[in-house]
Chain A
Amino acid sequence: SQKIEQNSEALNIQEGKTATLTCNYTNYSPAYLQWYRQDPGRGPVFLLLIRENEKEKRKERLKVTFDTTLKQSLFHITASQPADSATYLCALPYGSSNTGKLIFGQGTTLQVKP
């Protein structure tokens, strides 16, 4: 079965630096991959979706890469701000891309210090 690995240790960086979070998966390559942000006590918020035929996707200060050979996605936040502090979740579809069912990683907590 598909497994997702995200670094369970918190990532602490200084404001203004680039944060890089990793999502590794172990089995089949998914048709797409999503990244969500979750703040304490709240539901996840969708950030970006990248499809298997896309190497990179950008949205404002966010960049996601998808390497199906390495079975890895990297999530970058450039010019990080304390407001970026949150837990970031990687999610993949179960098997076929037509179900909408997602498997979530346990998330990596990012702390941006001023």
Chain B
Amino acid sequence: GAGVSQSPSNKVTEKGKDVELRCDPISGHTALYWYRQRLGQGLEFLIYFQGNSAPDKSGLPSDRFSAERTGESVSTLTIQRTQQEDSAVYLCASSFRLAAYEQYFGPGTRLTVT
């Protein structure tokens, strides 16, 4: 079956512009996660969604970052007024449910803010 897909694969934007990143999780996976990976660094947790529960937004670095998820399907991560330090690969993952289950990652969106 299809894995986690993300779009776009690459995004170059000017400082101050808003960007929207999309994630399509694996069908049937109730949990969805967003991570950020800066060059040469580990993954940094941003936010997760589990079913219809309120999302855990504790990893979002500032109020310029927000995310939504429609039911148990598509999620979008929005970054407003982008800054150069937002340049990174944004990875989405899904899992069958929370906790103790492996996460399946998409290929990521490489965001470059010029």
- List chain A positions with a Cβ less than 8 A from chain B: 4, 31-32, 34, 41-46, 49, 51, 89, 91, 93-94, 97-107
Interface string of B53-83 (1 = CB under 8 A from A): 0001011000000000000000000000000
Contact partner of B100 (CB less than 8 A), chosen from A43, A45, A97, is A97
Contact partner of A31 (CB less than 8 A), chosen from B97, B100, B105, is B100
Query: Is A106's CB under 8 angstroms from B99's CB?
Result: no
7 contacts between A and B (CB under 8 A): A43-B105, A46-B104, A91-B43, A100-B103, A101-B58, A104-B42, A104-B43
Distance, CA A29 to CA B58, complexed state (A): 21
B98 sits at the interface (CB 8 A): yes
Query: Is B56's CB under 8 angstroms from A99's CB?
Result: yes
B106 sits at the interface (CB 8 A): yes
Q: Return chain A residues, CB-CB under 8 Å to B4.
A: 43
Contact partner of A100 (CB less than 8 A), chosen from B31, B58, B108, is B31
A34 with B107, Cβ < 8 A, contacts A94-B45, A104-B42, A107-B42 known: no
Query: Is A105's CB under 8 angstroms from B42's CB?
Result: yes
Contact partner of B107 (CB less than 8 A), chosen from A31, A42, A106, is A42
A100 with B48, Cβ < 8 A, contacts A106-B40, A106-B41 known: yes
Query: Is A46's CB under 8 angstroms from B103's CB?
Result: yes
Contact partner of A93 (CB less than 8 A), chosen from B33, B56, B59, B99, is B99
A102 to chain B, nearest CB (A): 7
Query: Is B105's CB under 8 angstroms from A45's CB?
Result: yes
Query: Is A34's CB under 8 angstroms from B98's CB?
Result: no
Query: Is B42's CB under 8 angstroms from A89's CB?
Result: yes
B46 to chain A, nearest CB (A): 10
